[in-house]
Amino acid sequence: MGELLGQMIEVDVTNIAHGGVSVARHDGRVVFVSDAIPGERVLARITDDKKKSFWRAETVKVVTPSEHRQEHVWSAASVDRDPDNRAGGAEFGHIELSHQRELKTQILSESLERMAKVTLAPVVEAVPGDDERKGLGWRTRVSLHVDEHGNVGPFAARSHRVIPVADLPLATPELSAGAPLDQNFTGFDRVDVLNPSTGGVRLIIGKQKPQVITETVGEREFTLLDSGFWQVHHGAAQVLTSAVQDAIDPELFDPAASNLDLYGGVGLFAAAVGDKFGPATKITSVEAESAATDHAAQNLSEWLGAHAETGRVDHWLRQHLKEATATERARLDKATIILDPPRSGAGREVVDLVSRAHPAQVVYVACDPVAFARDVAFFAERGYELSSVRAFDLFPHTHHVEAVGTFTRK
């Protein structure tokens, strides 16, 4: 293995795969090709031949372009550049925007069908205003890395090589204007640039002490640390708030039940539930990061029945179920549970614990279609079926897609 690295092959691209790459075949072998579109013929350079079952390759030249190919929205990531010098983070930028969403719909639908035998096919919805902006100007958070000479930039696609760039077209105009792309940061590894809802653009350089920032969703304010998690798209928090509210079946919702917001962060979705069902709604937000829990407690303080607890979700659930009285079990039986796990998904153990709580419904916010589909299958094994699902294009010009699904007991 390794003797084929750098070799050029000409291939016909037939399908899209999860992870922002397309699928081709060469002498019967599967080849995952970056910067290509299904339907194209491309000249590609082999970058990984370690696996017997497949290779990886990067498009060097488009021989027969797709009708959906466009000039890349970011010149720093264009196919005109050598693959080693292409900026990462905009791997779908060469694809017309509406076709990007068709491909994401296909990936989510195929994942659900293959892994969970579910035939729901949610159409990926655009965030309002994104089409008018051509899918640009949405990122409120950008991580820039620093090379050995102090230059800043994104990593190259699929590597840790820093690529100096002149612009950040996916970032909000304010963030773009404030990003220190031409400054030297020798001695540091990374510079994070933030454009919160309030307070203007800010930089996080090295290990500086985190500061409190405020994000707004509609007329509601949320405090958090600038080093903490918040949705990257400037419209995502509002879109997901509405989607979670709509995903809850009001016929199954009991405000007096032991409702849970797991992986609750700073309380965004617990607040969404409280806003929809009233200030007496009982809901507990569970989050492993103690600083986030502190802010969740503050952000949820107006809801009498809301509170926040610090704990790893699996540990907290296991202990909670172990200590639950008959009354608490009855309240869990009527509960609505919100799940917003990291990209790796909830996983078998957490799905098992949630199912043992026997809630009336589960609303799952997913940022990875394959992890979500795997967990859909786990829930099905435990008597919960995916009754509805929506998908949202919260990351235009990348392969990422968000889904919000509702599970109910069979």
Which of these CATH numbers, 3.40.50.150, 1.20.1260.10, 3.40.50.1100, 3.40.50.300, describes 105-130+233-409? Answer: 3.40.50.150
The CATH architecture assigned to 8-69 reads Beta Barrel (2.40)
User: Rounded to two decimals, what is the model's pTM?
Assistant: 0.96
CA distances from 141 to 190, 204, 385 (A): 13, 11, 35
Q: Is 367 a catalytic residue?
A: yes
Distance, in Å, from the CA atom of 98 to the CA atom of 126, rounded to the nearest integer, reads 9
Tens-binned pLDDT, residue by residue, of the chain (410 aa): 557 888 999 999 999 999 999 999 998 899 999 999 999 999 999 998 888 889 999 999 999 999 999 999 999 999 999 999 999 999 999 999 999 999 999 999 999 999 999 998 899 999 999 999 999 999 999 999 999 999 999 999 889 999 999 999 999 999 999 999 999 999 999 999 999 999 999 999 988 899 999 999 999 999 999 999 999 999 999 999 999 999 999 999 999 999 999 999 999 999 999 999 998 899 999 999 999 999 999 999 999 899 999 999 999 999 999 999 999 999 999 999 999 999 999 999 999 999 999 999 999 999 999 999 999 999 999 999 999 999 999 999 999 999 999 999 98
- Residue-range domain boundaries for the chain: 8-69, 105-130+233-409, 141-215
Considering Cα of 308, then 343, then 130, then 156, what sign does the dihedral take? Answer: positive
Q: Give CA separation, 116 vs 278, 355, 368, 373, 383, in Å.
A: 35, 17, 15, 6, 13
Name 252's Cβ contacts closer than 8 Å, sequence gap at least 6. 336, 360, 361, 408
Helix (H) or strand (E) holding 152: strand 152-153
Look up residue 99 and give its two tokens: 């076709």
Are the CB atoms for 144 and 191 separated by under 8 Å?
yes
Task: Check whether 10 is labelled as a binding-site residue.
Answer: no
Instruction: Compute the distance between CA of residue 109 and CA of residue 104 in angstroms, rounded to an integer.
Output: 8
Closest to 307 in 3D by CA, of 327, 332, 331, 282: 282
Q: Name every residue whose Cβ is closer than 8 Å to that of residue 135 and which is 6 or more positions away in sequence.
A: 73, 97, 100, 396, 397
- Whole-angstrom Cα distance, residue 361 to residue 370? 22
The answer to whether 8-69 and 105-130+233-409 have equal CATH topology is no
- CA 339, distance to chain mean position in Å, is 14
Tokens of 49: 């031949």
| Active-site residue (options: 118, 306, 367, 389) | 367
Ligand-binding annotation for 263, yes or no, is: yes
* Residue 321, Cβ density class (10 Å: 0-12 exposed, 13-18 middle, ≥19 buried): middle
